[in-house]
Structure 1
Amino acid sequence: MEVKRRKFQGVLNILSFNRHFYIFGLIALLLVIVSQIVLQWPIVLFWIIILAFLYGLLMPLIVSAYVYDFSGYYHFDWLKKTGISNSNPDLILNINAGFDETSFILESHFPQATLKVFDFYNPEKHTEQAIVRARKVSLIFPDTAQIATDFIPLHDKSVDMIFLLSAAHEIRSQQEKIVFLKECYRLCKPTGQVIMVEHLRDLPNFIAFSIGFTHFFSRRVWRKAFKTAGFSSLSETKFTPFMSVFNCCP
């Protein structure tokens, strides 16, 4: 099945899934304008606040358009550019948090491999409104299986590649991250790979998302989680200044 993305689908997703943030932001902006009209407070301060609000509302959309609509992220050319290669994988996993934009693309990218898709979403643990809304419009790959983060129902050392594409940060607990990554470690063949793509809690993403960058985790947090889970090798390549591709091997 070929899946074609609409123009600016990345931006439209951000607006749709985070609409509560934009509604509250626009209401607050309106209140600032009304208060200035009524109270006549200093015009310089007024414009500083207005510009800060506009920056906070518009910059995430601009960066999202760059990353998800214009960078080629969904073409998967970054696999070669970042040095990740496995020319003849037998079994590939794509694990998501209930929003899946990549499984059909991966299937066409690795036509010779068996692709299994798992969804670890747990409404009691993963409570972000954005992911709740995203699940309602997500494509569902055939035979997608619901799993818990502490058990993936496959044999030890049976998987060539595990993809975690902008999903693992939905596991908010560090201990749960480690348990989940231990499961990934258990499944990987000795030559297997875990390919994780994530925004990080770093300066570029602070510039892009302001306080929203706290939804992501730092490089140090991810490195510690992978090391504790048993992985011996972890390399990071930047895909745009705002996203990192981690290639982790047993």
Structure 2
Amino acid sequence: METKRRQFQGVLNILSFNRHFYVIGLTILLVIILSHFYFQWSQLLLWVIIGLFLYGLLMPLIVSAYVYDFSGYYNFDWLKPLQLEDLEKKLMVNINAGFDETSYILKKKFPKSKLQVFDFYNSEQHTEPAIVRARKVSLTYPNTLQIKTNHMPLKTDSVDYVFLLSAAHEIRSFDEKVQFLKECHRVCKPNGKVIMVEHLRDLPNFLAFSVGFTHFFSKNHWKKAFKAAGLKTFNETKFTQFMSVFNYQS
């Protein structure tokens, strides 16, 4: 399977999956501009509003292009400091929320290790238009299994590495997160690792996504969830200003 990404694939994905936001935003902006000509209110205020709208619509695309298309995120070189071994006896698990861009790349990166892919997408709970659209165009890795967030069909202490790559934030309930992470903890070997990559609800992501940053969760939120799930070793490194790589050890 070809794993090379198309030029600007990341930003085109964001634009495609979230096109309803852009249609709504541009429609509201058009109404505001037309109302200015009708009511003749302040020219300065009009340009301020136009600037804010354009910032809110364009900045997420600029940051997404930087993170997903130009930063080397999909080269997975940021995994090198974690010193993950590629051996035939190793079992890796990659878990997604209905949109899988990483499993084929992971397998190419770790060709000797066994890779099992799980999808916790739930059509009744995960109803956001973006994830529904993303699921329609997602690649499906062979033998991907649909799971519930509170159960993985794996033996206890059987997995070396669990990858949660920009997926776990789709679990909105804190209690459900804890149950899900407990399952990750259960299946991990005593020295197994849970590797999670997420945008955070912090200042850089607010500047990038404005109110859209509320779709993500804070560092303290994740730290509290992992601690409640029994994963005690907590380590964060930054991949660009906008993404965090969390490495938890069971």
With the shorter chain as reference, the TM-score category is: over 0.9
Contact 1:152/1:183 (<8 A) preserved: yes
C-alpha deviation, 1:157, in angstroms: 0.4
Contact 1:236/1:244 (<8 A) preserved: yes
* 1:226 paired residue number: 226
Give runs of aligned pairs for residues 42-191 of structure 1, distance below 5 A. Answer: 42-80=42-80, 83-89=81-87, 90-191=90-191
* 2:213 paired residue number: 213
Deviations 1:51-86 (A, max 9, x none): 000000000000000000000000000111xx2112
| Structure 2 Cα separation of the partners of residues 88 and 22 of structure 1 | 43
| Structure 2 Cα separation of the partners of residues 56 and 128 of structure 1 | 20
C-alpha deviation, 1:244, in angstroms: 0.2
Aligned length: 248
Contact 1:126/1:172 (<8 A) preserved: no
- RMSD across aligned C-alpha pairs, in angstroms? 0.7
| Structure 1 Cα separation of the partners of residues 86 and 171 of structure 2 | 30
Unmatched 5+ residue regions in structure 2? none
After TM superposition, the score normalised by the length of structure 1 is 0.98
| Structure 1 Cα separation of the partners of residues 9 and 104 of structure 2 | 16
Question: Share of identical aligned residues, percent?
Answer: 68
C-alpha deviation, 1:114, in angstroms: 0.3
| Structure 1 Cα separation of the partners of residues 158 and 201 of structure 2 | 33
Q: Which runs of 4+ in 1 moved over 4 A?
A: none
Counterpart residue type for residue 30 of structure 1: L
Contact 1:117/1:141 (<8 A) preserved: yes
* 2:237 paired residue number: 237
Aligned to 1:157, what secondary structure does the other structure show?
Answer: coil
C-alpha deviation, 1:104, in angstroms: 0.2
C-alpha deviation, 1:88, in angstroms: 3.4
